[in-house]
Amino acid sequence: MPSESFSLPLLSGVVYTTLLNHRPQLAALGDTVHAAPYKAPPQHPVLGIKPHNTLAADGDALVVPPGFDAVEIGASLGLVVGRTACRVSADEALSYLAGYVLVNEVSLPRDSQDRHYRPSVRFMARDGYCPISATVVPTEEVVAPDDLGVRVWIDGVLVRHTTTGDRLRPVAALLADVTAFMTLQPGDVLTLGAAADAPLARIGQTVEIEIDGLGRLHHTVVAEGSAA
């Protein structure tokens, strides 16, 4: 469960996660993207929502329910909206941001196609499944948001080292394309989306994630009903 002390005054809105934004993620689906009922790759951003109950802080436990033994760890860049954004252009997009945060898009493991086209709330929106760093790093302090190192450690071992690059929609394009059909409010967070092949962290393991310049988040994976 989220800590009682968890407080992010700038993050007062909705957290929207972006799916299928990493090119290898979409490529891994192969021909299934051309099968019914979709029959084509997505033409617009594919979004999910992390409601308020999912918010968690550094150090909070990641709780695994009965029937599962692990969670997926999705380290992602969070774009914090600073002013109302509606139909913004890519050229102006960064001026609408207050800054960036580190987001852990935690989910229970599930079928790859269901993950993107039929995302299940019970897998993605469980209590504490969206840890966010407590400090919003101002936009001007992150000069290359599309080229930041992203790392995941499990039990002290580096298991993933990717970047915020190789995205179908880089930061500015993503914000422009999302605000083409919906208005984002100050305090909303839009994630760039986790890289393909999110690592699994099993019950009893410790997790650390990091993005260059945004600090780290630390967590322990516990079974539901156990002491954190």
d(CA 150, CA 72): 15
In a domain, 5, yes or no: no
Length of the chain: 228
Residue 3 in any domain: the answer is no
Residue 46 domain flag: yes
160 is a domain residue: yes
Say whether 2 sits in a helix, a strand or coil.
coil
Q: Quick one: pLDDT band at residue 59, thresholds 50, 70, 90? A: very high
Residue 4 is assigned to a structural domain of this protein: no
Q: What confidence tier does 39 reach under pLDDT thresholds 50, 70, 90?
A: low
Residue 121 lies in a domain: yes
For 109-166, what is each residue's pLDDT tens digit? 976 555 555 557 889 999 999 999 989 999 999 999 999 999 999 999 999 999 999 9
> How many structural domains does the chain have?
1
pLDDT digits (tens, 9 = 90+) for 71-80: 999 999 999 9
What band does 10 get if pLDDT is binned at 50, 70 and 90?
Answer: low
Q: Which domain holds residue 206?
A: 15-223
Contact 209, 77 (CB under 8 A): no
- pLDDT recorded at residue 95: 94
Give the domain CATH number at 23: 3.90.850.10
Residue 154 within a domain: yes
Residue 2 lies in a domain: no
